[in-house]
Amino acid sequence: MTFSTAISARSTDQVPWFYHSVVFDLDGVLIDSEPVFEEAAKRLLGRRGLLWAPEVAHAMMGAPAKQAFAFFRKHYQLLESIEELAAESSVDFYAAIGEGGIPLMAGVVDLLDQLQRNGTPIAIATSSSRRYVDRVLEPHGLLERFGFVLTCEDVDLGKPHPEVYEKAAKRMGHSPEFMVVLEDSVNGVRAAKAARAKCIAVPHERVQRAGLASADLIVSSLEDVELRRFLGID
């Protein structure tokens, strides 16, 4: 069941959609990392006697680290450089993960299995670094299932700019109109739609859903039956 399903007029022309590839965001779509980011931020702020504000997470979500930490630094009027804050936060982040690693989002493996059975090319396009991608996905043995991974090191302009999704479509060998993007953040949805891709938003409780209106479809999780209906993998 979905908490809500928003379907724009352009999405109802043909169901299931006609598409050639599916591209996944990483954080909040494939892995449940947002609670870990929040815990790391709380630890960093706590050492300075400051409190975590959810609206800060909303603004940072989906953006490249440098851009996100610039906002973080300005909001809290911190004196440390962006690089110093990022390094400190990285230590807190991996400490917050602990021994268990970051869990996958519900439905990830089943969806990947279904897309693989259909012969659908899949990839990852994330604002995170390649080192981070390798570290958080390696325990799950999923990396080899994706045709390629695009990270912040592969683009000049991060989300909400469409560059990463334009490059993903080019790597796939077709125009962005034939690519479906799965995103969880406002910045990510804006990037996908600016690239002219179809976009399925899969928001969690930390996402401001009002900012996702431009998505072609909004579903409750990767297990949602509507997601499978639109992708033609019922």
- CB of 165 within 8 A of CB of 195? yes
Tokens describing residue 203: 């928001």
Contacts of residue 45, defined as CB under 8 A and 6 or more positions apart, other chains included, come to 51, 52, 76
Whole-angstrom Cα distance, residue 190 to residue 123? 19
Whole-angstrom Cα distance, residue 152 to residue 56? 21
b/e burial code for range 181-191 (CB count within 10 A of at least 16 → b): bbbbbbbbbbb
- CB of 157 within 8 A of CB of 165? no
Question: 23: which strand partners?
Answer: 123, 181
- CB of 140 within 8 A of CB of 40? no
Burial class (CB in 10 A: 0-12, 13-18, 19+), 17: middle
The residues annotated with a catalytic role in the active site are 25, 27
Tokens describing residue 77: 């009027």
Tokens describing residue 56: 């800060």
